[in-house]
Amino acid sequence: MANNTINIKNRRATFDYEIIESFTAGIVLTGTEIKSLRQGKAGLTDSYCMRENGELWVKSMYIAEYSFGSYNNHTTHRDRKLLLNKKEIARIGKAIEQPGYSVIPLRVFINERGLAKMVIAIARGKKMYDKRQSIKEREDKRAMDRMFKH
């Protein structure tokens, strides 16, 4: 039914954060937002999730204006509501209250039913030495792949 190739990732998230637990949530979008998202014109850099009044919201997520939209076009960095059940929102809320933890979006995709979904994660920020360890592991993996290739 829907084009399933839309997969927008936050590539910086796994470098800056240690992922503790992940959830899949629906996103409340307007008509021009979903059309622009299906064209692949969105970005997750510098976006984060906040809990307000028992609801979870994604802040500063970029979705480009729809090129064929009229005066009813959406704003690009609008706050968007995430759809989760109460138990998941409560678990995420407890994690946000702890110091050092945050909730970040990892990926936006269109599922098989044509609905926009977002994978969010409870994460803890990495220290500088953790980042250096990640870089070292990535370089070692590249070197091993190069050795086996030749």
Answer yes or no: is pLDDT of 23 > 50: yes
| Predicted TM-score (pTM) above 0.95 | no
Mean pLDDT of the chain: 88
Whether residue 133 lies inside any domain: the answer is yes
Per residue in 40-68, pLDDT (tens digit) is: 888 898 899 999 998 999 999 999 888 88
Residue 1 lies in a domain: no
Give the domain range for residue 111.
Answer: 7-149
CATH of the domain at 112: 2.40.280.10
CA distance to 14, 17, 127, 132, 148, per residue, from 141 (Å)? 16, 20, 21, 14, 11
Residue 41 in any domain: the answer is: yes
Total domains in the fold of the chain? 1
Would 14 be classed as within a structural domain? yes
Determine the Cα–Cα distance for residues 143 and 150; give it in Å rounded to an integer: 11
Query: Is residue 66, in this structure, part of any structural domain at all?
Result: yes
Residue 2 located in a structural domain: no
8 A C-beta contact, residue 124 and residue 100? yes
Q: Note whether residue 76 is domain-resident.
A: yes
